[in-house]
Amino acid sequence: MYWEPDKECMDREELEQLQLERLQSTLNRVYAHVPFYRKKFDALGISPEEIGSLSDLSRLPFTTKEDVRGNYPYGLFAVPLREVVRIHASSGSMETSSVVGYTRNDINMWSKLVARILVAGGVTKDDVVQVSFRYGLFTGGFGLHYGAERLGASVIPASSGNTARQIQIMKDFKTTALVSTPSYAMLVADTIREMGIPVSALSLKYGLFGGEPWSEKMREEIQDALGIVATDNYGLSEVIGPGVSGECLERNGLHINEDHFLVEVIDPKTLQPVPPGQAGELVITTLTKEAFPMVRYRTRDLTSLHTGDCPCGRTGRRMSRLTGRTDEMLIIRGTKVSPANIESLLFEIEGKEPNYRIVIDRKGAMDEVTVLVEAAGEPPFGQERRHVGTTVETIRKRLTHELGVTVDVKLVEKKALEPVDGKAKRVVDLRKL
């Protein structure tokens, strides 16, 4: 099932010709209307007319999050403010936010791309879609909302939080598709169990999740707990928001909307492309954005590109689900530690749900790491108190052995580590580095 079959199943040669034409148009736009890019291009001695093939992309400069923040708020806009009909911003203080804008055409295009993602994940015009992403300056809520409306589904703009009420809405309004972060979906599943509502009393069929990395084991747990088919989707505010890529029901990689985004995967150290299948940092060039075009934007997200065809028939390249971020890789006592690795290990320990937080502090010259783990079951931690110490020690030994770093482990009550604005806060670094 497709939303735009002529675009989603385009011949590769035809697609690459379209990409080149749109790339050249984008480069001319930013050179003419964005002083930041004109200065960058001039410094490298590059003019847009010199980019005659997709392979020339590597000659162009990167754009970073620091560049976006340094041009706060409107320095990277390529149209006058009177043509901007929507302004969003990333989370954080306003001084560190990425401010992005959309023309009316951008909004129209955005809704179509999100509709593609929803349809690929099984949603139809007959579904009732509950959007439990935060609304406001964050792009996730509005992006999924307008995409679902575009395809003709019924939309419930629930936003995040007030989970018990959300579940009551799911039950009463007969929600068939949940849209949220995966960590919020886990919280929904926990709350459903606590409320004593059988999953059979709900009408849920699909879950479309994004906004943060999550593991395959977490997908399995969400599917089992909610009785749904769960798919992953990806986007980021600086590029467009949700709508960059999403899984089909085959769930063997996220299909990239390549007619609108030119993607690369690079080694974050050498900045050189890596072979298909090898993990690296995702870099995206927008091809159709009017208000806020991006050239070779370094996302900091770690992924890889898939090779081979997908049985669904879509021809756009696929990316793996995110494994983390380049700026979330922790250096602890000289050892690299990924939050995603900790999540995977916790899943392997029976009875431990993947809700955790890593707290790092420095005492003297030594880093100290504490992993807070929400315990399964009712207090005290779903087991007799005399067994709690054994459980903690089991987790501690396993994490220390696998990560190569000595860690402390503390079990905390359920919901003590609830997501903030729908997103899990995985790392708290208290070190003065």
Which residues, at least 6 apart from 70, have a Cβ–Cβ distance to it below 8 Å?
none
User: How far apart (Å, rounded) are the C-alpha atoms in residues 33 and 77?
Assistant: 8
Helix (H) or strand (E) holding 110: helix 104-120
Mean pLDDT value of segment 151-175: 96
Mean pLDDT value of segment 138-144: 94
CATH topology of domain 1-325: Rossmann fold (3.40.50)
Q: Is the pLDDT of residue 92 over 90?
A: no
* Residue 270 phi, psi dihedral angles, 5° rounding: -85, -20
3-class SS at 320?
coil
Q: What is the pLDDT of residues 353-382, one digit of tens each?
A: 567 888 888 776 567 889 998 876 554 444
What is residue 16's DSSP assignment? H
Mean pLDDT value of segment 395-421: 81
Residue pointed to by tokens 């609304």: 135
Domain map of the chain by residue range? 1-325, 330-429
Task: Mark out the alpha helices in 233-364 (DSSP H runs).
Answer: 339-348
- Return the pLDDT at 110: 98
User: How far apart (Å, rounded) are the C-alpha atoms in residues 411 and 375?
Assistant: 6
- Return the pLDDT at 351: 56
Mean pLDDT value of segment 3-21: 97
Residue 118 Rama label (left phi>0; alpha psi -120 to 50; beta): alpha
Q: Residue 380, preceding bond cis, omega within 30 degrees?
A: yes
Q: What is the pLDDT of residues 243-260, one digit of tens each?
A: 999 999 999 999 999 999
Task: Mark out the alpha helices in 258-384 (DSSP H runs).
Answer: 339-348
Q: Is the pLDDT of residue 78 over 80?
A: yes
- Return the pLDDT at 428: 84
Asked if residues 189 and 161 have their Cβ atoms less than 8 Å apart, the reply is no
Residue pointed to by tokens 């590769």: 12
Q: Is the pLDDT of residue 310 over 90?
A: yes
User: How far apart (Å, rounded) are the C-alpha atoms in residues 295 and 26?
Assistant: 8
Residue pointed to by tokens 């954080």: 92
- Return the pLDDT at 326: 81
Q: What is the pLDDT of residues 340-355, one digit of tens each?
A: 777 777 777 755 556 7
Residue pointed to by tokens 């089992």: 224
Strongest mean pLDDT among 132-136, 198-202, 385-389: 198-202
- Return the pLDDT at 380: 44
Least confident piece of the model among 203-217, 351-365, 379-393: 379-393
3-class SS at 371?
strand
Helix (H) or strand (E) holding 169: helix 163-173
The string of DSSP letters for 252-263 reads SSEEE-TTTEEE
How confident is the prediction for the chain on average, in pLDDT? 89
* Band of residue 212 on the pLDDT scale cut at 50, 70, 90: confident
Q: What is the pLDDT of residues 115-137, one digit of tens each?
A: 999 999 999 999 999 999 989 99
Which residue, 287, 218, 351, is CA-closest to 7? 287
Mean pLDDT value of segment 136-155: 96
Q: Which CATH number fits domain 330-429: 3.30.300.30, 3.40.50.720, 3.90.78.10, 3.40.50.2300?
A: 3.30.300.30
Mean pLDDT value of segment 51-76: 96
Helix (H) or strand (E) holding 151: helix 139-151
| Strand 254-256, strand 241-247: pairing | antiparallel
Q: Is the pLDDT of residue 97 over 90?
A: no
3-class SS at 213?
coil
- Return the pLDDT at 379: 47
